[in-house]
Chains A and B, each alone.
Chain A
């Protein structure tokens, strides 16, 4: 058979699908009644990557995951898993695994029964099932508990069983629907590291959904930030953290302080003019935004405080310390800046007794121009640059 006839036989879907994508969404939308849960989403998830859909509740991130799993039918748009367009495939026909928020362990089966379930559904022989189940349980470091009832297990053990059940049949794609949300902090971090470890060891594509920015930054190769059913920004964890594109991303990831103003051209330079008339330098700004409303996003750890001999003696922004909290490695401060009618939230290194201020102290605020990142103000607007 020649290559040409193969192509025509397999149809356009295979021909257009890129070999590198594990999952591809094209113009995918979902309406629930009057609510547009997901609006025309395009997303490509690469093979072997761990991508996190990050957003507040109601942002549509879970709906996206459920559409990939086939549990929710898209109103419009197409979805590929691997090389196949899966629109016509029911959930059980897609080679995926999913770990649910409630874990959804089957209460009437023991641990073995739960992990063996997907293998039984695939009509695998008894001996092979026993071998693979014990292999999967040892991968999640839970040997010798296969006869226990699931409700006798601890929360962490249940998580591991749910993961073992999802991995036992070596699916192409693992979907995580906030499975760590209900855990206490220590256990949650332990399970997050476990996911990173499994991801590195098994070379599996993982799509994770969460509203926890820390988890997203910790786990992901790339993060897709969603809000109001739209993709706000897609990029590597570091890129998104360092250079949020929109006000929403800046606020949701890393508690940025936003100074709003209008962008003005000043000779060769571009500056942000605030309502109070102050002109602030920005890291980089494309010319086409000049004249529009923008904001400077300053991360809480990007700002330094400077003790002032007396109020309003400095040239830069000045403020008054309103709250100070010692956090171990850092000190957290809230500083009121009257001129901008803003309260800044800062986190300063505390090593060696540095950065110790009292409530009421007048302070000056400084930052590196390269940290003065520009974001668009209108919600959902496209990223500058």
Chain B
């Protein structure tokens, strides 16, 4: 038996690209011991860690400022103290701040509940859809509002709910006049569904896709009603996805800025709007830092609670 493969063709027969590959191979084999060292993957993480490290450094700065006093008159940082937190929680500001935090948390929880509730049937609908073409159309309808960004989303609702907008026109056809939605919590809530629902569905899709349709058929043959099949089969199996969806909606809602500003007409600020005011209009980044840290803690706490207790552990 002969080995007929000639592994060494003449150099001039080789295309240019192959010569580059050969140079790379030569370089690699020269540095093989270095390139196979155990530290290589860690080195590969350095650029990414540097990038995120900047954010960590910034968060550290925020934390530092929040625990130091500040002399606004002389623009000088003072000693370590709880002054900033005291100003938020006990000073004349406190009522306004508590209102803002309560509004933010309340509407965010409402958004989590509505979005996850609406996302389950929608994700199920997409997964079980038979026609691929329609599935694509559905995903486009889902993804466009997700990709256009906060401002365009808020703007869309603004002209929809505005004084000469589509809602007024639509209700006008039925003789209903003078409905004001803009500037109410309802408007913000409507806008927040728009923000969270697409991403909630996207996060739910993989978990939904893993549910074998035969399980539902099996449940049906075993005598489960449609409702029972949902509560006993579909929802429990989608649980891990539900938890992630809730977490993402929570984080996005808690930092919402455009919807309260535009749809709440600035009258119903969220924490993000309040932070904006503190940093830019009052130029007080020290008090702002304390509020930012508060928001961070609330978001992380909610995140932990949602993953721990919100939907239970995934059983697999």
Residues of A at under 8 Å CB distance from B? 47-48, 95, 119, 122-125, 169-172, 203-204
Are A125 and B13 in contact (CB-based, < 8 A)?
yes
Are B1 and A95 in contact (CB-based, < 8 A)?
no
Are B9 and A172 in contact (CB-based, < 8 A)?
no
CB neighbours (8 Å) of B9 from chain A are 123-125
Chain B residue with the shortest CB-CB distance to A93? B7
Are B14 and A123 in contact (CB-based, < 8 A)?
yes
- Interchain CA distance A124-B6 in the complex, whole Å: 8
Query: How many A-B contacts are there with CB distance less than 8 Å?
Result: 28
Chain A contact surface mostly? loop
Interface residues of B in 1-15 (CB under 8 A from A): 1-7, 9, 13-14
Are A47 and B5 in contact (CB-based, < 8 A)?
no
Residue B18 CB within 8 A of the other chain: yes
CB neighbours (8 Å) of A95 from chain B are 3, 5
Q: Tell me how far the C-beta of B172 lies from the nearest C-beta in chain A, rounded to whole angstroms.
A: 55
Are B5 and A169 in contact (CB-based, < 8 A)?
yes
B7: contacting residue among A122, A170, A172, A204, CB under 8 A = A122
- Interchain CA distance A204-B3 in the complex, whole Å: 11
- Interchain CA distance A203-B1 in the complex, whole Å: 8
- Interchain CA distance A122-B14 in the complex, whole Å: 11
Q: Tell me how far the C-beta of A118 lies from the nearest C-beta in chain B, rounded to whole angstroms.
A: 8
CB neighbours (8 Å) of B2 from chain A are 170
CB neighbours (8 Å) of A169 from chain B are 5
Are A47 and B7 in contact (CB-based, < 8 A)?
no
CB neighbours (8 Å) of B13 from chain A are 123, 125
Are A122 and B3 in contact (CB-based, < 8 A)?
no
Q: Tell me how far the C-beta of B102 lies from the nearest C-beta in chain A, rounded to whole angstroms.
A: 53
B3: contacting residue among A48, A119, A170, CB under 8 A = A170
CB neighbours (8 Å) of B6 from chain A are 122, 124
Chain B contact surface mostly? loop
Chain B residue with the shortest CB-CB distance to A118? B5
Are B3 and A123 in contact (CB-based, < 8 A)?
no
CB neighbours (8 Å) of A204 from chain B are 1
Q: Tell me how far the C-beta of A354 lies from the nearest C-beta in chain B, rounded to whole angstroms.
A: 43
CB neighbours (8 Å) of B7 from chain A are 122-123
- Interchain CA distance A22-B127 in the complex, whole Å: 53
Are B1 and A122 in contact (CB-based, < 8 A)?
no
Q: Tell me how far the C-beta of A82 lies from the nearest C-beta in chain B, rounded to whole angstroms.
A: 9
Other A-B contacts than A122-B7, A123-B7, A204-B1, 20 sampled, CB-CB below 8 A, are: A48-B1, A95-B5, A119-B5, A122-B5, A122-B6, A123-B9, A123-B13, A123-B14, A123-B18, A124-B5, A124-B6, A124-B9, A125-B13, A169-B5, A170-B4, A170-B5, A171-B3, A172-B1, A172-B3, A203-B1
CB neighbours (8 Å) of B18 from chain A are 123
Chain B residue with the shortest CB-CB distance to A119? B5
Can you show 21 pairs from A to B with CB atoms below 8 A apart?
A47-B1, A48-B1, A95-B3, A95-B5, A122-B6, A122-B7, A123-B7, A123-B9, A123-B13, A123-B14, A123-B18, A124-B6, A124-B9, A125-B13, A169-B5, A170-B2, A170-B3, A170-B4, A170-B5, A172-B3, A204-B1
- Interchain CA distance A95-B6 in the complex, whole Å: 12
CB neighbours (8 Å) of B3 from chain A are 95, 170-172
CB neighbours (8 Å) of A124 from chain B are 5-6, 9
CB neighbours (8 Å) of A123 from chain B are 7, 9, 13-14, 18
- Interchain CA distance A203-B9 in the complex, whole Å: 27
CB neighbours (8 Å) of A47 from chain B are 1
Chain B residue with the shortest CB-CB distance to A204? B1
- Interchain CA distance A213-B14 in the complex, whole Å: 48
- Interchain CA distance A19-B7 in the complex, whole Å: 24
3 closest A-B pairs by beta carbon, nearest first, are A169-B5, A123-B9, A122-B5
Q: Tell me how far the C-beta of B13 lies from the nearest C-beta in chain A, rounded to whole angstroms.
A: 6
B1-38 CB mask vs A (1 if < 8 Å, else 0) is: 11111110100011000100000000000000000000
- Interchain CA distance A169-B6 in the complex, whole Å: 10
- Interchain CA distance A172-B4 in the complex, whole Å: 10
- Interchain CA distance A107-B3 in the complex, whole Å: 29
